[in-house]
Amino acid sequence: MTDKSPAAATYAEQFRSDPDWINAFDSRMKRLESGELDEKSRELVFVVGHLINNYGEAAKYHQQRARRAGANDDDFRLILKILDFYRGLRIFQDAQKLVSIWRTGNFPELKAPIKGSTAEIYQKIIESRTYIANGFRVYGADGEWLKLYLQRSDAVKKSPKTLDERLVQLISMAITLKNHRYSNNWNDGCIQVHEDKSRALGTTPQQILEVVQILEICDSLFTAYQGQTLLELNTN
């Protein structure tokens, strides 16, 4: 195995009886390593993939590699904030599709904010963002919750980091793609928004492809981890 990580060692152990399978994994990793993504970007996407899979050992391994490539605690906290933010949005947008108060296509305003009105919050959103995204409207069922959603969105933008905006948008695309998957609801648009923003700042189609390939590798490694921890297999 060219990848010397603990996760790769687990993968090799689980599939050592099939050299062709191991060779395909090695070849995928070599292909990624010769790609366009710089080391810091590549390692951070690995962190995202393993973090969302709850594969702690693998996430920490790539966190260490990302640190050596220049990432710091602010960058990892930013990843956590973005994931926190989008996990919440995913719940609301699933509810928009499935729960009675939204699934008719309406956006009810059931609770007013503590101060002011929901309409005033929407006006501030238009002034700062030019349009009201679907996520803001579904949160508008509770004006105070909408205000806090907006506060969290702004806090993500202001977070200290070493990453440039192009990479922030690329990481956000990876997080939303991995967290949301394809769900046939309104959160799928988040993936496209972040891809478009990153592309506008210089990300290439090949780099987008490499992000998707890394997330596939993360799932391959997680499957081997599940085999190790959840099944009894003879690996001799």
Check residue 68 and give its pLDDT. Answer: 98
Q: Residue 196: inside a domain, yes or no?
A: no
List of residues 6+ apart from 145 with CB closer than 8 A: 111, 139
Average pLDDT over residues 39-43: 97
Closest CA to 212 of 3, 35, 7, 4: 35
Asked if pLDDT for residue 32 goes beyond 60, the answer is yes
First to last CA, the chain: 17
The band of 182, judged by pLDDT with boundaries at 50, 70 and 90, is low
The band of 1, judged by pLDDT with boundaries at 50, 70 and 90, is low
In a shared domain, residues 113 and 140: yes
In a shared domain, residues 14 and 63: yes
Average pLDDT over residues 152-178: 96
For the stretch 139-149, pLDDT in tens is 999 999 999 99
User: What are residue 202's DSSP bridge partners?
Assistant: none
The band of 28, judged by pLDDT with boundaries at 50, 70 and 90, is very high
Q: Collapsing DSSP states into helix, strand and coil, what is residue 142?
A: strand
The band of 128, judged by pLDDT with boundaries at 50, 70 and 90, is confident
Which structural domain, as residue segments, surrounds residue 108? 78-157
Mean pLDDT of the chain: 93
Q: Residue 186: inside a domain, yes or no?
A: no
| Enclosing H/E stretch for 102 | helix 100-103
Closest CA to 82 of 169, 161, 150, 172: 172
Q: Residue 55: inside a domain, yes or no?
A: yes
Q: How many CB atoms lie within 10 A of CB 21?
A: 15
Q: Residue 164: inside a domain, yes or no?
A: no
